[in-house]
Every structure is written in C-alpha cells, then in structure tokens.
Amino acid sequence: MPQNITEKLIKSHLVSGEMVPGKEIGLKIDQTLTQDATGTMVMLELEAMGVERAQTEASAQYVDHNIIQVDNKNADDHLFLQSATRRFGLYYSRPGNGVSHPVHMQRLAKPGKTLLGSDSHTCANGCMGMLAMGAGGMDVALAIAGEPIYIKMPKVWGIKLTGELPDWVSAKDIILELLRRYDVKGGVGKVIEYYGPGLKHLSAMDRHVIANMGAELGATGTVFPSDEEVRKFLKEQGREDDWIELTADRGASYDLEEEINLSELEPLIAKPSSPGNVVPVSEVAGTPIYQSYIGSSANPGYRDFAVAAEIVKGKTVAGGVSFDINPTSRQMLTDLVKDGHIASLLQAGARLHQAGCNGCIGMGQAPATGRNSLRTTPRNFPGRSGTQEDSVFLCSPEIAAASALKGEITDPRTLDMPYPKIKEPENPTVDTSLLDEPLPYEEARNVELYKGPNIASIPPMDALPDEMELPILLKMGDNISTDEILAGGARVLPYRSNLPEISKFAFEIIDKTYYARGMESVVEGGHAIVGGFNYGQGSSREHAALAPRFLGLRVALVKDFARIHWQNLVNFGVLPLTFVNEEDYDQIEQGDILQLGDLRNKVQQGNEFTINVKGKNISIQVSHALSERQVEVMLKGGLINLVKERLNRGQTLL
Ligand code: MIC
C-alpha cells in the first residue's frame, strides 16, 4: 500500500494501537523540546517522578519566553533550568540564544524523527520531515523518561500546493488562507501534510512559517517532505549528514484533500481577536496603527526580517508608530547585522529587542489600550499581548513593514517600489556557543537542582471522588483559549514555577472573581465549569489545567475540546465531559449545581452517562472520550499519582 509521509512517520514509531482515525495510539518519541515557561514544571515533574536521565535521542531546554528580568524570579528559573538540564542530561539553550522552534530546526531537527514539545508551536519542525507535536508538560516529561506519547490517530489532510506566490505575498499568507477557509477548528484531529509542485518555491524556513501556525487550526501536526530544500538547509547548518529523503509514495492518498493555488493568493490579515478572523488586507487598509511588530516563531526566517529591512531602507516609519523588531535566533541576528539589514531597520526607526519570544506572549512590547497592533506573530487572542483591551492583527512581514511606513494598515502592493527579492546568505553563521551540550552521566548524577525562592513543588492531588455536587462557577462561550484561562504576559509568566501563586490569575480575563470563588469551592468539594466549542484552544500550557484544578475544578463540561488542553485536563485529574445533546448547553446556567453520583463506576463502565442539575429536575446526557488507560489516570486523580504509585511498586512508568 503506498503511504503518505504522515503514515510513514507514525508507522515507524508506533508502539501500541491501530492506525485507525480516532483510536488511541502510542508513539515512540525521539526528541523533545521544552521552553522555560513550561519547562520549569517539566523539570519539577521529572524530579517528582524520580527520573534519572533523559532516554531520548536529544532533548533540549530553551530559555526564550521569560527573558525580561525585573526581579529575581525569571533569573532564578533560568538557573533552575540550567541545573536541571545538567542533572537530567538535556541540551540547554541559554537566554538570548533564540526562540525554541527555529533554534531547534537549526541545531537538532532531523527528518524521519518524532519531536514532542511543551509548546503548542512545536509542530513548526514538521517543516523538516518530522512528526512534531505540541503537548502538555507532563506528557513531555514522560517522553523524556522514555515513555510513548498517546494521541488519537489523526486523519491525514493532504494539501496540494500548485503555482507560485505572486510578489508581495509570502508563506504567512498561505497559512492565513487556510485559516480563512477553515477557521481555528479546521485542523482538529488531523495532521496537515503538504505536497505538490508549489513546494519547490518554498524554502525550509518558509515551510516553518506554515507548519508553525498549523497549531492555530487546531491540528495535531503539520508535515512537509524532507526534500532538496531540507537538505540545503541542513547543509548550510553544517548538518548535511542528518538528512534523509522522506516523501510520500507514488499513489499515496489522504483522508481529506485540499488545493491551494499559490498564484491566486493575495496579502491577508487576521483581524482581532482570533487567528481565524482572516480577510484580504485591502479590506482593512487605512486603519491607523500604533505598533508594527516583526518576529516570533510564525515568521522567524532571515528572509522575514530582511524583506522588512529592504522595504523600510532609506525611509522613516510614520510618526507615533512603534516599530518593534524581535529577532528569533542569535545566529540569524548575526547575519542580519553582517548584511546591513539591522542598520536599515534601525535607521528607519526600529526598536531592536533581544532574540526570543518577547511580545508574542506579552513579555514586553505590550500595546497601548485600544490601539491597533500589527504583528507577524501566530496569535491574537484577547489580552495575550499583555494589554487587556488590545486590538491585535496578524500579518506577513511585508504588510507589517509597509504599514509601519504609512502609519496605517497598508496593502504592500500599493507601495511605490519593486518587490525586494531576498538573497539568503551563502554561508550562514552557525553558532553553538549558547547551546550547552548534555553532561556525561557520571558528572550529571552529582548535579544538585538549584531552586530559587519562587519555585514551589506541585501540591498533592486527591483521587476522583465517587459522589460530587459541583456548582458551575463559569459558563463560557466558544473558542475559549488557554490565554483566557490563564494569561501569559510579563505579570503572570514569572509564576509558571509556582502553582499557588499563578492560580491567582486563573480566568481573570473572563471573570476576576473566579479565584476567590474557586478557593472557597475547594473546601466544599470543588466546582465545575461549562464551555462551548473548541474549549482550551491555543497554548499547550498545562498551568491552564493545573491552576483551575488547584482551585477545585473537577469537571469541565463543554461542547468540544481542543486536543492539548483536553489531554492536560486528564493528566491532572479534571474530568473532561462533552454534551451528548448540544442543546443542553442552553439549559444550564452559571450557579447551577451538577450532581454526579456513582461516578467512578460510571466512568469505567462506558463513555456516556447522565448527570442531574440540582433542584431543576433536568438530567443531562454527557460523554467522556477517555481510553482505558486514561480512565485509570482519572480514577487516581492524575498522572503524577499513577506514576508515583507504579514506581513505588517497582514497576515501569506507564
Ligand atoms: C504560545 O505561543 O502560546 C506559547 C506561549 O508559546 C505557549 C506556551 C506557553 O504558554 O508557555 C504555547 O504555544 O504552547
């Protein structure tokens, strides 16, 4: 049977289950990636589980999110992470070295391998012919310990690319086009696999842009072939030996098919406050802007900065526009400096920041209230920029640069200049000086973990009770993102290694009283929340499950869940339920009390059962999609309890 690339990658890593869409499969993980904002928890989990040493082929810890140091917290976390990587045998990418996804691509990505990362944009490395997936920290900790990842077998969505991009249209517009067609739920349960003649015009970094924002479609992963473009990229990085060819077999088919004719695309923009809110830029041209921001893993390439530099060269950005340049890796920044592009940007009025995620996650560069910010970043969920009343648009570097010059959203095709064609450096800089190699085991085992005063261990969690009466503390609508469940931003992120403290910010964007009401519910046996479709989309941050759980969340009842958040809820013992009849969503209100009886039995006996709404004479049919393995996790109150129990019995992890 001819196979597509996704099937090849899955088959060669399958350790359990059948390759039937929707069924649970276990996959061997070759590489892992953690970043600091999620990595501190991962390292604490490794410690809690008593893991000796990473069992993967390569595991790397990047420090790219929490890089503004206004007090001791972030700096202490960096030292904790450095000590943990030395202890457990991981690579350590120091602050300033760059964003995890492009740096991983440059230094460690290998075609044919699997990569699991505690960051939803881990899928970016699918550009290298890898099966790269985002996951919660606990799943990544287990993968580091040598355990498989369990996912539902995805459908494979083949996207045929034909034609060639017109001038002023670039890779970002390709993924925005897919978001325009299918919105933020379009990729759920699917791996997106690109193929076709249009590919030959897209460099490995262009493909990174597209693969990265597969996360915004909710996809399990994005896969590109490993072809001559990938070989060229690896050769430039001094790693040609890591190249293997990986393409779909002739005659391979896909579960679903789509075609994009690149020649027909135009510059696109996602309006506030969803990456799926995409329109042609011409529709919003003339809207005044406060900020134009270039960088992030959604436009990390040399080309992305160089094209902006060429557009603004010899000109000055409009008065009042903050033109923020956030380089994505040190080695690329070096080349942009050498080739004069940074000088062009600075002379035009740019503000240059250090290599890292920065404003993409609200770590600096927050816009003024209610003013329009144009960004090449992947997400514009409400409040994510760090400003609560924000208004963020997502676009290509071409649009961002053109708009910076004009002070208003501008279709770059209207600029009075030819489209700058960018020549990539022939011998790009390769710089490994801030990427520390794993220590040999003999040395590593004596390393002590350094824990600053802000680092708190994860509190114990109880097993799933059999009888519960749970007040609904929040009733929410569709597409609630993990940014709304637990904000990012410079105020909140420094508490990522301190669960009791970070819990104070849970759901604050939606309801500031949640924390106090949650704390009260803990003594009364907990609470539930209700949501609509695509609940928990976006970031993989497991804190969005952990913090509500710490505040007594026992049941999340929604129309449907986003993949990673659903898994995180299970990992920490929060029962994720969906309405069997969606109309029942309208029957219940915030403040109602859900009655769950004989729950442990019901969860084990089948996927559907009924719960009552106290005093209302309503019963609601609900369903859980847990596998047998996950039912066990749920009954124990989460993965940590299960793993600890097994290790105490001298058994293997899972
Ligand atoms: C994001 O883009 O939302 C983040 C910040 O990178 C997150 C990770 C985090 O919240 O730490 C993600 O994508 O998973």
Q: What is the pLDDT of residues 276-320, one digit of tens each?
A: 999 999 999 999 999 999 999 999 999 999 999 999 999 999 999
Same domain, 496 and 630: yes
Instruction: Give the mutation target among 35, 103, 540 for probing the ligand 1 site: most ligand atoms within 8 A of CB.
Output: 540
The yes-or-no verdict on residue 652 having pLDDT over 90 is no
Answer yes or no: is 650 within a domain. Answer: no
Q: Nearest Cα to 62, choosing from 5, 100, 9, 103?
A: 100
pLDDT at 399: 99
Longest dimension (CA), the chain: 72
The yes-or-no verdict on residue 616 having pLDDT over 80 is yes
Separation of CA 480 and ligand 1 centre (Å)? 15
Answer yes or no: is 213 within a domain. Answer: yes
Answer yes or no: is 422 within a domain. Answer: no
Answer yes or no: is 346 within a domain. Answer: yes
Averaged pLDDT of the chain: 97
- Edge-to-edge order in the sheet of strand 149-152: 14-16, 24-27, 149-152
Atom index in ligand 1 nearest the CA of residue 540 equals 14
What's the Cα-to-Cα distance from 450 to each of 76, 77, 79, rounded to whole Å?
Answer: 8, 9, 7
Give the model's confidence band at 577: pLDDT under 50 very low, under 70 low, under 90 confident, else very high: very high
Atom index in ligand 1 nearest the CA of residue 378 equals 2
Point out the least confidently predicted range of 47-51, 141-145, 426-430: 47-51
Range of the domain at 226: 5-264
Same domain, 382 and 490: no
Give the model's confidence band at 376: pLDDT under 50 very low, under 70 low, under 90 confident, else very high: very high
Same domain, 473 and 378: no
Instruction: Give the mutation target among 216, 274, 377, 541 for probing the ligand 1 site: most ligand atoms within 8 A of CB.
Output: 541
Give the model's confidence band at 221: pLDDT under 50 very low, under 70 low, under 90 confident, else very high: very high
Antiparallel, parallel or unpaired: β 322-326 and 291-295? parallel
Atom 12 in ligand 1: which residue has the minimum CA distance? Answer: 539
Atom 11 in ligand 1: which residue has the minimum CA distance? Answer: 37
Separation of CA 126 and ligand 1 centre (Å)? 17
Separation of CA 536 and ligand 1 centre (Å)? 12
Reduced to 3 states (helix: H, G, I; strand: E, B; else coil), residue 59 is: strand
- Over residues 426-450, mean pLDDT: 96
The CATH number of whichever domain residue 372 belongs to comes to 3.30.499.10
pLDDT at 520: 98
The yes-or-no verdict on residue 340 having pLDDT over 80 is yes
Which residue reads 């976006």 in tokens?
A: 538
Same domain, 515 and 597: yes
Atom index in ligand 1 nearest the CA of residue 134 equals 14
Q: What is the pLDDT of residues 503-561, one digit of tens each?
A: 999 999 999 999 999 999 999 999 999 999 999 999 999 999 999 999 999 999 999 99
Which helix H or strand E contains 117, and what residues bound it? strand 114-117
**Residue where a domain stops, chosen among 221, 241, 264:** 264
Answer yes or no: is 171 within a domain. Answer: yes
Separation of CA 62 and ligand 1 centre (Å)? 13
Separation of CA 540 and ligand 1 centre (Å)? 6
Instruction: Give the mutation target among 64, 66, 121 for probing the ligand 1 site: most ligand atoms within 8 A of CB.
Output: 121
Same domain, 286 and 252: no
Q: What is the pLDDT of residues 170-194, one digit of tens each?
A: 999 999 999 999 999 999 999 999 9
- Over residues 587-601, mean pLDDT: 98
Instruction: Give the mutation target among 42, 74, 119 for probing the ligand 1 site: most ligand atoms within 8 A of CB.
Output: 119
Peptide bond between residue 12 and the one before it cis (omega within 30 degrees of 0)? no
Give the model's confidence band at 433: pLDDT under 50 very low, under 70 low, under 90 confident, else very high: very high
pLDDT at 647: 83
The yes-or-no verdict on residue 50 having pLDDT over 90 is no
Separation of CA 101 and ligand 1 centre (Å)? 11
Atom 5 in ligand 1: which residue has the minimum CA distance? Answer: 361
Answer yes or no: is 427 within a domain. Answer: no
**Residue where a domain stops, chosen among 264, 290, 322:** 264
Interhelix angle 36-49/639-648, rounded to 10 degrees, is 30
Number of folded domains that form the chain: 3
Beta bridge partners of 527: 553
For residues 629 and 220, what is the distance between their CA atoms, to the nearest angstrom? 20
Residue 120 in contact with ligand 1 by CB distance below 6 A: yes
Contacts of 341 (CB under 8 A, 6+ apart): 305, 306, 309, 310
Structure tokens at 133: 């997936």
**Percentage of the chain modeled with pLDDT above 70:** 100
Same domain, 611 and 527: yes
The CATH number of whichever domain residue 554 belongs to comes to 3.20.19.10
Give the model's confidence band at 648: pLDDT under 50 very low, under 70 low, under 90 confident, else very high: confident
Same domain, 337 and 308: yes
Residue 539 in contact with ligand 1 by CB distance below 6 A: yes
Atom index in ligand 1 nearest the CA of residue 38 equals 11
Q: What is the pLDDT of residues 489-498, one digit of tens each?
A: 999 999 999 9
Residue 101 in contact with ligand 1 by CB distance below 6 A: no
pLDDT at 310: 98
Residue 527 in contact with ligand 1 by CB distance below 6 A: no
Same domain, 180 and 297: no
Contact indicator for 505, 486 with CB cutoff of 8 Å: yes
Query: HEC states along 285-341?
Result: CCCECCEEEEECCCCCCHHHHHHHHHHHCCCCCCCCCEEEEECCEHHHHHHHHHCCH
- Over residues 93-122, mean pLDDT: 98
Give the model's confidence band at 372: pLDDT under 50 very low, under 70 low, under 90 confident, else very high: very high
The yes-or-no verdict on residue 457 having pLDDT over 90 is no
Residue 37 in contact with ligand 1 by CB distance below 6 A: yes
Residue 113 in contact with ligand 1 by CB distance below 6 A: no
Atom 10 in ligand 1: which residue has the minimum CA distance? Answer: 541
Contact indicator for 115, 144 with CB cutoff of 8 Å: no
> 332 φ, ψ to 5°?
-75, -35
Answer yes or no: is 433 within a domain. Answer: no
Same domain, 500 and 392: no
Same domain, 155 and 252: yes
Same domain, 49 and 163: yes
Separation of CA 390 and ligand 1 centre (Å)? 18
Q: Is the dihedral of CA 400, 403, 408, 414 positive or negative?
A: negative
What's the Cα-to-Cα distance from 589 to each of 173, 472, 533, 573, rounded to whole Å?
Answer: 41, 7, 16, 24
Same domain, 176 and 242: yes
Q: What is the pLDDT of residues 314-338, one digit of tens each?
A: 999 999 999 999 999 999 999 999 9
Residue 223 in contact with ligand 1 by CB distance below 6 A: no
The yes-or-no verdict on residue 48 having pLDDT over 90 is no
Q: Which amino acid would we find at residue 345?
A: L
Residue 541 in contact with ligand 1 by CB distance below 6 A: yes
Atom index in ligand 1 nearest the CA of residue 493 equals 11
Atom index in ligand 1 nearest the CA of residue 118 equals 14
Answer yes or no: is 647 within a domain. Answer: no
Residue 31 in contact with ligand 1 by CB distance below 6 A: no
Residue 296 in contact with ligand 1 by CB distance below 6 A: no
Atom 9 in ligand 1: which residue has the minimum CA distance? Answer: 541
pLDDT at 458: 86
pLDDT at 653: 75
Residue 38 in contact with ligand 1 by CB distance below 6 A: yes
For residues 493 and 367, what is the distance between their CA atoms, to the nearest angstrom? 18
The yes-or-no verdict on residue 355 having pLDDT over 80 is yes
